[in-house]
Structure formats: C-alpha cells, structure tokens
Structure 1
Amino acid sequence: MINKLIKNTTTLLLIIDLLIINLVVYFVFEKIHQSFQFHAYISTFWLITIVFTNYYKVYRFTNYFRLLKLIVVQALFFTLGFFAYFGIFKEGEVVNTQFKTLAITLGSLALIKLSTFLLLKKIRQSGSNFRKVVFFEKDDTTKKMIKLFKSRGSLGYSFLGFFSNKTSEDSNYLGSEKDLYDFVQTNEVDEIYATLSNLKKSQVKKLTKYTSLHNITLKLIPDSKEFYSKSRNVEFYDDTLKVLSVNKLPFDLIENRVIKRVFDILFSAFVCLFIVSWLYPILWILIKLESRGPAIFKQEREGFNGEEFVCYKFRSMYVNKDADKVHATKNDSRVTRIGGFLRKTSLDEIPQFFNVLLGTMSVVGPRPHLESLAVEYQKDVDNYLERHAVKPGITGLAQISGYRGEIKKKSDIKNRVRLDIFYIENWSFMLDVKIVVSTILSMFKGDENAY
C-alpha cells in the first residue's frame, strides 16, 4: 500500500500544493479581492511554471542543494506571477494582505517539499520503497556505485548482482548476457546499469530497445570519452559518480498523457458542439438520399496495445461485402458521389470525434488499421507493433506528410510507420497543434491521395 502511494507522489504533491495555494488565498487574502478569476489564475500559473522549472522532478539521488535550488527558483516565478496579476487586473489598488498571503503560501509549499523529501528518505532507510537494480559488465565506477548503494540505504536501491560475459568467482555474479533478460523479467528488476566502456554499440541498442518495451529504467555508466546527446541526461549520484540516464519517451510521463487527454476532450467537445451538431443531420440526409444503408459505418480497427475497438465513419461507399477487407482505390466504383466528396475533404472521419470522447482514439496519433491488413504490414515492417504504444488518431504526422489513403507499395507502409514512431518518440503539445492546423488546411486544399 505504501509503495503504491509513493509511486503517485508527484500527482499527490501537485494536488496538495494546489490546495495549499487556494486555501491560503481563501483564508488569508482580503475577501474583497477574492474571486474565481484570481483562484483560476494563480492555479493555472502554478501549473505552467512547474513545467519550466521541473519542480516535481526530484529523484531518490537528488541532493539537498538541488532541492533548495528548485524551491527558490519556483518561489521566484510564483512571486512574479502573483504580483503580475495585480499589475494586469487590479492596477492602482492596494491590497494589504499581499505579502502576508505570499509569505504563508511559499513557506507552506517549501515545508511540504522538504518534509516529503525527508519522509521518503526515512521510509527508504527502513527498507521500503526500494528499487531493484542489476549491473551489466563491471569496472571501477561500477564497484563505487555498488558500494554507494549498499552504504546509503536512504537512496532506496536494492543491489541484486551483476552480469558479465566474462565469468567471475564474485558472489554477486549472476551470469552472462544471455541470462540477463530472463532474470530481469523473473525478478521484476526496476533498473539496469550498463558500463559503456565494456559494451558494443549493438549491445547498448538492444538494451535500450528492451528496457523501453518493458518499462525498465536504463542507466549508462560512461567512460571519459562518452558523448552526451539529447536522448541522455547526466545524473550525479555522488560528487564523483556520473551516470547517463536514457530519457523516457514523452508518453511515459503521466503529465504528458494528462495534457494530451485534456486537449482531446476539449477539442472534440468543441467540434461535436459547434460542427457535428448541425453537420451530422445534413450529411445523414445526403447519404441516405443517394444510397441505402446506415449513415454511420462501423468497423473494427486495431487500437491502443493492439486491442480492437469500433471505429465510426460516415459511410462513403455503397453497402458491399468487401468493405472490411479492401481499402478504397482510385476511381473505386464502390464510392458514392457524396462519399467521394466526404473522402476528399476528410469529413467522413468526423464521427471519430465520438471515439475520442469515448477514449478509444486521440485527435492526433497513428491511423488505426484493419486487423487483417495489420498482420500483413507486420511482415514488411519490423517495428510495426510500436505504433500500438499510443491511441490511434483521427489524423497524424504521416497523414500530413503525404502518406494517406491507398498503400500501393511496401515503402508506403514503411514510411508511415517511420513517421508514426517518430511522432511517438518526439511528441509535444505544439506538435499536436501543428498537425491539427495542417489537417484543417488540407481539408480546404484537398489531397491527391484522398479518394
């Protein structure tokens, strides 16, 4: 129970901090100046600034200096935002309890931050909330790290042993590389530390791929010539112990998943209220007038983690037995006249905003495929299944890059998957915005591959 609670410490602390901010404002701030506007402003400002200051990125190896720096920097940002409100909305007004409110708020937030930090250290010192770690290959730096983990229980690391392709009589030796992966799965290892000086590039690549797929943290112990890239962060466990942390993918971070889901809900709700509400009955009538059959076409597609879901579209074809087997081709006789217009403008995808609200799709993401076709694509593309790491989207990076519609040759699906995986590995909120804007513009310009 304690371990589960600690795993959600960041979310819990964020909620507590927001409660403190709003409670202090409510009970200390002058009532005459209180308003929903101020509460909303100060809460939103806090949420925005923590993204830039990394206020909640505190790890078990974080030292007191780093913690103090986070508190001071966040306090400075918050102070600027606090007084900026009065300059923008309450110019000229004197608020006697400004400094008192600010002082109590910052003091309370700092106390919570420090108390939580010390409490977690105490819990780890007692033997709870530890992370199971193993090492792959061994050198002098590895020995220092093992000694550090054993001597400082407050870090909360449980050293299980090390693997090496060189056999050893050491009691901590667990086997060779081929034994590593089975051991990690069987013993629920949390982190793997690998010594770069003793590993080939192919071994590092294999480790990186394996740990990413199985949600295991990979830490690389560098040699003096090791270069640092965007995908790796330098972390100091002690004054002399330096480790490279392989960055998590964007969607491994809960805050990114929350941001994306909130955007999905707000954007889809807007579209449904202001577009679908009047467009749906018009298109329903036009589709029904031209051909028999339902206005909404339902089809099973592959979704998040490969699970099937019912995808909704406006029917753009005459009812036919091959609708679930064969994609539309150029000048396809199955496509109706109104259907051709819907497909050209992408309006046939509009009902998928209901899929987004239901949680089976996202506004932006890899396009969902039919299971029968997905099996064929997996034969042509080795990393095809990595697309399933996120929810499928109404539109995506591949679609705005010219890869939509009929797949004529193997390179088409390979390029789509390449762009889908690039999107997953490099996601940002602004990338989603860019893709949505590009999709809207293409609806008016048209796309030669949309038929």
Structure 2
Amino acid sequence: MDGIAKVTGADEQPLFVFLTTDRPIGLTTKRAADVVLALWGIILLSPLLVLCCLATACFAPGPIMFRHQRIGFNGKPFGCLKFRTMAIDASERLRRHLESDPVAAAEWHATRKLRRDPRVTAVGALLRKSSLDELPQLFNVLKGDMSIVGPRPVTEEELDRYSDAVRAYFSCRPGITGLWQVSGRSTTTFQRRVVLDSYYAHNWSMILDAKIIMATLPAVCFSNTAY
C-alpha cells in the first residue's frame, strides 16, 4: 500500500495514516449537508428510534446499542453505532456455525456475510430487513465520523481486501448509504464493493450524493437489493 503507513497506538488513534490528504472529499459543502440531513433525520425519525429501543430491550435482553470498531477517514477507527441485532454470545455462535457448515464458511470468506446468520435475534432480523438498525449512525454523522453518503464502513480486517483501492476509501468519510448499498449488495461480491467505493471516491459530486439518497428508499423496500 504505497503512501500508507500502518501504525499502532491508543484507542481512537489512526490505525493507518493516509499520507496524501488531510481533508475528506466534499469538504465544507458535503459536511454542511451531512449535519442538516442528520439533524432532520433524528427529529423526524425520533418515534422510530424510541420504538426500536423498546423492541430491542423487550425481545432481545442485553444492551440496546452496539458499537463496533470500524475504520474511517484517514484510517481513524471509530465506534459505528447500530441497534443491537445479534445475541450476546454472537461470536461463539458464529464460530460453531462455521466449523460445522463448510458452505456457510465459504460464504463468510467470500462476502463476510451469511444469508442465514445464527447470531441474529428475531427482532434483530426485522431491524436489519428494514435497515432500522442503522438509524443510530445519524449520531455518527453529527459527530463527524461518518457521512450520509459514502463507502460502507469497514473493519480493519476487511481493509486487506482493498489493496491499492484503500487510498480511495481513506479519502472519504464512510456513509450510512452509498453506491454499494443501492446496487444490490446481497447479490454482489466484495470485490465489486471495492470497485464501487473507488468509483465513488474518484467521481464524487453533490449530484451523485443526491442520486444515491433518492435511490436508497427503493433499495430498502425491494428485497432483491436487501439493503
């Protein structure tokens, strides 16, 4: 990865340093749009946020929110917020499932996802299908860790699959929605996801963001895209 140095340090310090830029794509214009849209989203969707909190608390005992470390702009890790959709022993469930099912293990290796995920609770499955589990990421947008539109947030492990395209990923704030999310994410490969993230970084515009936002609702509604 030319131009990128991997470093270690305390929490919230960059795991990778992207050496050729110090500001994300879109600059002030994109950031201003993010803040306005996130604030309006939180206000308008507050009844849904409360309902999701109550459903998770009542039907899936354990923490309501889940904070997973993802890698953001310039390689900085951040806690990506979601409503918890998995059982509290999710890691152990996944380990046992992959060990006992070679087909599932191959699917996990190829896509980092499972069509039938043993970790997901009943209420969590509903939240995922409707994408309501991702509503807390509006607070990540306000904080500046994420954007409304951008590449899908990745884990440190997933960055290895980006190769040289990691430069494009590091140039953006990760998004709640993005090209991959509205392009049939359940029917495409991880490599296609990398291509779409790279395309977005190199061709960003406010018009492109607007098109992706307008395409998000149909992507959520139609099961063949599995938003």
* Normalised-by-shorter TM-score class: 0.7 to 0.9
- Cα distance in 2 for partners of 1:318, 1:274 equals 29
1:252-263 aligned at under 5 Å gives the runs 256-263=26-33
Residue 306 of structure 1 is matched in structure 2 by 75
CA deviation vs aligned residue, 1:118-140 (integer Å, no higher than 9, x gap): xxxxxxxxxxxxxxxxxxxxxxx
Contact 1:403 1:415 in 2 (8 A): no
Look up the equivalent residue of 1:312 and give its one-letter code: L
Aligned residues: 191
Look up the equivalent residue of 2:179 and give its one-letter code: L
* Higher normalized helix content (fraction of residues): 1
Identity %: 37
Query: In structure 2, do the counterparts of structure 1 residues 264 and 404 end up closer, same or farther at CA, with 3 Å as the change threshold?
Result: farther
Residue 190 of structure 2 is matched in structure 1 by 413
Max Rg structure:
1
1:213-292 aligned at under 5 Å gives the runs 214=20, 251=25, 256-275=26-45, 277-292=46-61
Q: Helix, strand or coil: the match of 1:431?
A: helix
Look up the equivalent residue of 1:415 and give its one-letter code: R
CA deviation vs aligned residue, 1:76-120 (integer Å, no higher than 9, x gap): xxxxxxxxxxxxxxxxxxxxxxxxxxxxxxxxxxxxxxxxxxxxx
* 1:358 aligns with one of 119, 143, 158: 143
- Cα distance in 2 for partners of 1:449, 1:272 equals 23
Q: Which of 1 and 2 has higher RCO (CA within 8 Å, sep 6+)?
A: 2
Query: In structure 2, do the counterparts of structure 1 residues 390 and 448 end up closer, same or farther at CA, with 3 Å as the change threshold?
Result: closer
CA-based RMSD of the aligned residues comes to: 2.4
TM-score, normalised by the number of residues in structure 1: 0.40
* 1:336 aligns with one of 118, 121, 138: 121
* 1:390 aligns with one of 146, 167, 172: 172
CA deviation vs aligned residue, 1:45-91 (integer Å, no higher than 9, x gap): xxxxxxxxxxxxxxxxxxxxxxxxxxxxxxxxxxxxxxxxxxxxxxx
Gap regions ≥5 residues in structure 2 = 1-18, 96-107
Cα shift at 1:384: 2.8
Runs of 4+ in structure 1 deviating by more than 6 angstroms, as ranges, are: 323-326
Cα shift at 1:372: 2.3
Look up the equivalent residue of 1:423 and give its one-letter code: Y
Cα shift at 1:404: 5.0
* 2:205 aligns with one of 417, 423, 428: 428
Contact 1:318 1:335 in 2 (8 A): yes
CA deviation vs aligned residue, 1:30-54 (integer Å, no higher than 9, x gap): xxxxxxxxxxxxxxxxxxxxxxxxx
1:42-191 aligned at under 5 Å gives the runs none
- Cα distance in 2 for partners of 1:328, 1:415 equals 15
Cα shift at 1:448: 4.8
Does residue 400 (structure 1) correspond to residue 182 (structure 2)? The answer is yes
Contact 2:90 2:119 in 1 (8 A): no
Contact 2:219 2:225 in 1 (8 A): no
Residue 85 of structure 2 is matched in structure 1 by 316
- Cα distance in 1 for partners of 2:86, 2:181 equals 21
- Cα distance in 1 for partners of 2:88, 2:115 equals 18
- Cα distance in 1 for partners of 2:207, 2:185 equals 21
Which has the higher mean CA deviation after the structures are superposed, 315-324 or 259-268? 315-324
TM-score, normalised by the number of residues in structure 2: 0.76
* 1:349 aligns with one of 134, 149, 153: 134
Residue 295 of structure 1 is matched in structure 2 by 64
Q: Helix, strand or coil: the match of 1:322?
A: helix
